Amino acid sequence: MMVTKALNIGVICSDEDFSLIAKTGSELKRYRLNLTRLSPEEMSGFKELNDLLIISDESKNLDLLRAILSGNLNGNSIPVILLTSDHNIENDLNLFSVHTVDYLLREFVTPNELERTLALVEQRQKQQEELDFLHRFERLIAEISAGFINTEFQKIDSAINSALSRIGKFAGADRSYVLWINQRNQTWSMIHEWHTENVPSASDFYRDIPLDSLGNLFKLFSQGTPVHFNDIDSLPDSEIKHVLISRGVKSVIVVPMLSNGVFRGGLGLSSLREKKNWPPRLVNVIEFLGGIIVNTLERKSADKKRYDSELRYRTLIESLGEGIILTDCNEKILHVNSKLCELTGYSSEELIGRHTYKVLFPDIGEKFLEERTSRRLQGIEECYSIETTRKDGSKFWAEISASPVRNSEGVIIGTLGAITDITGRYLAQKALANQKQFLQDVVDANPNYIFTRNKHGRYTFANQAVADLYGISKEELIGKSPYELADDHEIISRFLEEDQEVLKSGKALVKEAEALIHPRTEEKRWVQTVKQPLREPESGESQVLTVLTDITDRMRSEKTLRDILEGTAAHTGQDFFSSLAKTLTEVFDASTAIVGRFQTNGAHKVVNLALHHNGSPLDIDEYPIEGTPCEMLLTEDYYICTTDLASSFPRASLAPELDVNSYIGVPIIGSAGQRIGLLSVMDKKPLIPWPSAKSILQIFASRAAAEIERIDSEKERDKLQRQLYQSQKMTAVGQLAAGIAHDLNNALSAVVGHLQLLKRDNVLDGELKSSVDIALRGCERSSSLIEQLLGFARQGKYNLKQLELKKVLCETTAFLDKIIGKNVNISVKDAPAQLYVAVDQAQIQQALTNLIINASQAMPQGGEITISLDVEEINSPERFNPKAKSGRYACLSIRDTGTGIPAEQLDKIFEPFFTTKQNGTGLGLSMVYGVMQNHGGWIEADSEPGKGTIMKLYFPLVRAPLKIVTPDKPAMNENRASGNVLVIDDEPFLVDLALKFLEKNGLNGKGFTSAADAINWYRENHKDTDLIILDLKMPEMDGKECFDKLCQINPAAKVILLSGYIDEQAVQELLSKGAVEFFQKPVKYPELVAWIKRYISQAQPESASNR
């Protein structure tokens, strides 16, 4: 039975042509035509509704049709039949060449012709569809393959998903997918999926499905048979069928994917919205694509395994602490790890492709590297150290472990190297080697004999001293037995027996002293022996370390020390120095020994403490040091001249005198580090010192220094004791002198006052008046003596000013230079300027005058007076002056070349009334002593008969002037004045005398000998009292207390102070409190009264105004 095929045909033609086609089509047997009249305006969407298009060449709007067909239908695969009456159809066919498949002539439109034309068109349509299918398939293959070619394995999943999308769309499926079998678990899963927008994903559902669920399908798949069911209902009954139906699948194609004949999975298509009539050729396409995808998945797996392997390799390489480098056979770098980049400072890009010797080892010769490469090509592995260069040019030491790299066929294709920075280890090893060499040098430099011997008695180590002992090298010595080196077999046997004893006991052996014979010189030497067991660090073999110390010189030194100690131990002072010099000559086998002291006054001389020559002491007090070997000891710690002493020191006059030609000496150094003397031995023959000679000399130089300082300390202590005694004595004498002077002043004041009173009244004749004048001059002479006595007692009046001491000195010497004899020369050394002292200029000039005149009188035949000025820092000066304080002092020295002062008189020269002159008062030096004490300083004297005397004055230096508060004296007013004056003095005759002078000069006076009575009177009459005369030295209440009470009554009280001697501090204090003036007794009353009248005269207008 023939099957009729229905065709939907769109017709664009006239009514007549449509009727023709409709009538003829109705008669067809193979086709049933469904005709639809179309106009050009109705062309949109016709291709989806029609299988064929018939166009009449007589149709209207042909231009519009042409435009539609050439524009909108371009590429349309719908067949077109042209209905025409033109036998010359070429032009019309050209018009529709793109779309026209065939034509019909109107006159031949019959059922057979129409059916034939339709069959031809259908055949051509199938061919075109097949061709279009192939084109689309080729495009699909090209696009999918392009997505897989050179694709990294990480992107293959994305490429497969993209391919599934293309496959699904190509086949018109709702879902395309890849199923993959897990051989281990015998399950299958949907590992890749594409689906249309309105279809849900199924990949989560099809996960780890047992293979058993496939039933017979698994067998088909395993045999490479695809499954193609356009209707799912036709699928054989199985579990998977029910699953697919439940998931809404209507059509399915699954092609197996085999790799090397093994079923690995499947590529499938599913339709869920409708049943598909998928042609068999589509199955072939899917099979072909499945092969591509399975190969891609296999490549992905292989690439991933390779990547994972490489990743593990790279991770391993990168995790290594060494730098890794891979090179080819020409040392071109193929690969490096990050550690190598870190070590060298290069990036991997900067290293790969370059030659190792050019970039990493530019300073190493190519020959060395070529040898290394050659060994690698021979299959040799090796490890070596080499200096490597970083990118910045710095160097580091690298240890390279190099191994040949082979391919799968075993052919060497390059080198794999591990580079480790061993700079620290290299430097440590170098330092260790240097340290080892240093220790070897230390041991070799040790003069002791140091060696080790094994249990067989053979040398395994020795220092240079041992090699020199036998006269061979250290290398020649190793491995030899002592029997091969020396002839004294008895001693050798004993030594080896001792070695065995030490090895057996494991304990050290010490022998303090034993005698041995030198193997080459045959000299007897004394040694200390120490044997110690030890183990060789590498082999662990027991050995004996022996150290022999040559103590020959030490024993000699010990004997020398004993001899010197025995010779000097029982002596001190001069006996010690003499015994020391004598013993030194014996110990050093020398003719001469000297113990000397450098002069302390700056002269370059040595004072002999002891000189022993040819067995006897020699009396030479001193000798000049300049140009002698002793001068060397001013700077050197040890000096030796073995021969030719005279030619080396031609100015050493003592050398030929003592007939010596060699010299050994050391300085004597005090406890403060200063050089105070020397110790030396001399002889005619050459003096060859043994090693301990210097030490022995220095030991006894230290002993001599201690003895010298002990003697100096005793002298200083005696001197301080004398100074203390002298100071105490002078203080007591001063106090006595002060009391005497005060009483004398009071008595003399009475005498002088009454004589002046007689002289004032003009009641005496010429002869008596002359007698009064003579008496007054005698009183003045007595007053001068009392002033000197007060000066000694430190009670005299003085006016302190800040003065430059050098200026005072120069003024004084300039004056004295004119009055001292021409045979005495005064010279002042360059003295530092700006040395200020607080002094009374008159008293200091008087003191200097006394000292310089004394010095000139001590040189009746003439001489030199040398004056110098310097600064000294003095600590604890209280022993010289209780008022003195530690600090900087100006020291003024006056040195003469006179007869000097005997020692028994030196401690008495500052005592008052002590003198050695026929007409001397004995108060000159005592006055100087008192002046210096009163100024916070002191005077020291040093003298030696026949050599002169030195007087040293010490003044405390000041920075600012000492301010003394003294009221301005009133201007002198010759006008007469009257006033009331209160006189207070404990001596009645002095009060009476003062009142008489006041009354005779128009002044009213009121006198008291009791301070208490005077205060009571003043309390009632102070408003009428203009001035008060107050004696400072009174019994019961002294002047200071009385002054304070008077001022309590009247703070404006005007007080004049009187005293036979001064308590300077009290005077200054009262002047600062308001006392108007001070007069020293004996008072010249006419001058006192005149001053009072002038003062009152000036003060009266002010008083009147106040009233």
Does residue 950 have a pLDDT over 90?
yes
Name the strand (E) or helix (H) holding 323: strand 323-328
Confidence of residue 426 (pLDDT cuts 50, 70, 90): confident
771 within a domain of the structure (yes/no) = no
Closest CA to 18 of 55, 49, 48: 55
pLDDT of the residue at 721: 67
73 or 839, higher pLDDT: 839
956 or 12, higher pLDDT: 956
pLDDT of the residue at 974: 42
pLDDT of the residue at 666: 93
Domain harbouring 1088, CATH code: 3.40.50.2300
Does residue 1107 have a pLDDT over 50?
no
Which of 719, 738, 753 lies at the terminal end of a domain, its last residue? 719
753 or 884, higher pLDDT: 884
Does residue 760 have a pLDDT over 80?
no
Cα separation, 249 vs 236, in Å, equals 15
Lowest mean pLDDT among 242-246, 593-597, 1096-1100: 1096-1100
950 within a domain of the structure (yes/no) = yes
- Exposure string over 443-468, b if 16+ CB within 10 A, otherwise e: bbeeebbbbbbbeebebbbbbbbbbe
Q: Are residues 534 and 592 in the same domain?
A: no
Q: Are residues 873 and 1007 in the same domain?
A: no
Tell me the CB-side half-sphere exposure of residue 415, using CA atoms within 13 A.
29
278 within a domain of the structure (yes/no) = yes
Confidence of residue 722 (pLDDT cuts 50, 70, 90): low
Q: Are residues 470 and 401 in the same domain?
A: no
Does residue 964 have a pLDDT over 50?
no
Give the pLDDT mean for 170-189: 91
Q: Are residues 930 and 1061 in the same domain?
A: no
Can you give 638-651 as a three-state secondary structure string? CEEECCCHHHHCCC
Q: Are residues 329 and 289 in the same domain?
A: no
Give the torsion sign (CA, 1071, 1072, 1073, 1076). Answer: positive
Does residue 748 have a pLDDT over 80?
no
pTM of the predicted model, to two decimals?
Answer: 0.36
R_g of the chain computed on alpha carbons = 70
Query: 10 - beta bridge partners?
Result: 36, 53
522 or 686, higher pLDDT: 686
Give the pLDDT mean for 436-458: 87
Cα separation, 878 vs 410, in Å, equals 107
Give the pLDDT mean for 414-438: 85
**CA angle at residue 765 from 760 to 766, to 5 degrees?**
100
Confidence of residue 537 (pLDDT cuts 50, 70, 90): confident
| C-beta separation of 637 from 667 below 8 A | yes
961 within a domain of the structure (yes/no) = no
Q: Are residues 646 and 715 in the same domain?
A: yes
What would the two tokens of residue 434 be? Answer: 């240097």
Range of the domain at 217: 150-306
Lowest mean pLDDT among 645-649, 903-907, 1071-1075: 903-907
Token pair 């100015």 is found at 651
Angstrom CA distances, 847 to 186, 739, 787, stand at 135, 23, 13
Q: What does pLDDT average to over the chain?
A: 81
Confidence of residue 949 (pLDDT cuts 50, 70, 90): very high
Q: Are residues 590 and 527 in the same domain?
A: no
Judged by DSSP in three states, 862 sits in: coil
Give the pLDDT mean for 372-398: 88
Which amino acid appears at position 1020 of this protein? E
Token pair 């230096």 is found at 957
Q: What is the pLDDT of residues 1032-1084, one digit of tens each?
A: 888 888 888 999 999 999 999 999 988 766 565 677 788 888 898 888 777 77
Task: Give all strands of the β-sheet with 509-517 in edge-to-edge order.
Answer: 459-462, 449-454, 542-550, 524-535, 509-517
Domain harbouring 237, CATH code: 3.30.450.40
pLDDT of the residue at 841: 82
Confidence of residue 971 (pLDDT cuts 50, 70, 90): very low
Confidence of residue 967 (pLDDT cuts 50, 70, 90): very low
Does residue 664 have a pLDDT over 90?
yes
φ, ψ of residue 411 to 5 degrees: the values are -85, 135
Does residue 460 have a pLDDT over 60?
yes
What would the two tokens of residue 234 be? Answer: 């036709």
Give the pLDDT mean for 489-493: 86
Q: Are residues 393 and 469 in the same domain?
A: no
Cα separation, 77 vs 47, in Å, equals 9
Which of 134, 166, 186 lies at the terminal end of a domain, its last residue? 134
913 or 824, higher pLDDT: 824
Q: Are residues 416 and 463 in the same domain?
A: no
Token pair 């040790």 is found at 446
pLDDT of the residue at 976: 52
Which of 514, 529, 550 lies at the terminal end of a domain, its last residue? 550
Taking the CA atoms of residue 392, residue 398, residue 402 and residue 407 in that order, the dihedral angle to the nearest 10 degrees is -30
Q: No. of H helices and E strands in the chain?
A: 33, 40
Would you give the end-to-end CA distance of the chain in angstroms?
A: 178
pLDDT of the residue at 576: 86
Does residue 580 have a pLDDT over 70?
yes
pLDDT of the residue at 1067: 79
968 within a domain of the structure (yes/no) = no
CB atoms under 10 Å from CB of 745, counted, come to 26
Q: What is the pLDDT of residues 53-65, one digit of tens each?
A: 888 876 554 565 5
Cα separation, 563 vs 587, in Å, equals 7
Confidence of residue 737 (pLDDT cuts 50, 70, 90): low
CB atoms under 10 Å from CB of 1025, counted, come to 20
Cβ-proximal residues to 122 (8 Å cutoff; 6+ apart), any chain: none
pLDDT of the residue at 823: 85
Cα separation, 416 vs 980, in Å, equals 130
Confidence of residue 250 (pLDDT cuts 50, 70, 90): very high
Domain harbouring 521, CATH code: 3.30.450.20
Q: What is the pLDDT of residues 604-645, one digit of tens each?
A: 788 888 999 998 888 888 888 888 998 898 889 999 998 888
pLDDT of the residue at 1063: 60
Closest CA to 310 of 150, 152, 114: 152
Which amino acid appears at position 806 of this protein? K
Closest CA to 608 of 654, 662, 673, 561: 654
Closest CA to 41 of 15, 7, 67: 67
Give the pLDDT mean for 998-1008: 88
Domain harbouring 887, CATH code: 3.30.565.10
Burial class (CB in 10 A: 0-12, 13-18, 19+), 729: middle
158 within a domain of the structure (yes/no) = yes
Cα separation, 594 vs 663, in Å, equals 11
970 or 218, higher pLDDT: 218
Helices (H), 1022-1063: 1039-1049
Does residue 595 have a pLDDT over 90?
yes
| C-beta separation of 267 from 254 below 8 A | yes
Q: How many residues does the chain have?
A: 1107
1047 within a domain of the structure (yes/no) = yes
Beta-strand pair 542-550/262-271:
unpaired
Which stretches of 763-841 are assigned E, i.e. beta strand? 801-804, 824-828, 836-839
Closest CA to 639 of 679, 580, 669: 679
Taking the CA atoms of residue 1026, residue 1029, residue 1030 and residue 1034 in that order, the dihedral angle to the nearest 10 degrees is -140
The number of distinct structural domains making up the chain is 7
Q: What percent of the chain has pLDDT over 90?
A: 15
Does residue 940 have a pLDDT over 50?
yes
DSSP secondary structure of 791-857: HHTT-S----EEEEHHHHHHHHHHHHHHHS-TTEEEEE----S--EEEE-HHHHHHHHHHHHHHHHH
Q: Are residues 941 and 821 in the same domain?
A: yes
Lowest mean pLDDT among 92-106, 213-227, 355-369, 667-681: 92-106
Q: Are residues 231 and 106 in the same domain?
A: no
What would the two tokens of residue 828 be? Answer: 């002042």
235 within a domain of the structure (yes/no) = yes
pLDDT of the residue at 304: 82
Beta-strand pair 592-598/542-550:
unpaired
DSSP secondary structure of 611-641: EEETTEE----EEE-TTSHHHHTTT-S-EEE
Does residue 795 have a pLDDT over 50?
no
Does residue 1094 have a pLDDT over 80?
yes
Does residue 1106 have a pLDDT over 70?
no
**CA angle at residue 680 from 677 to 685, to 5 degrees?**
160
Which amino acid appears at position 318 of this protein? E
Q: Are residues 110 and 169 in the same domain?
A: no
pLDDT of the residue at 596: 92
Lowest mean pLDDT among 92-96, 225-229, 546-550, 727-731: 92-96
Q: What is the pLDDT of residues 767-776, one digit of tens each?
A: 666 666 677 6
Give the pLDDT mean for 1003-1014: 90
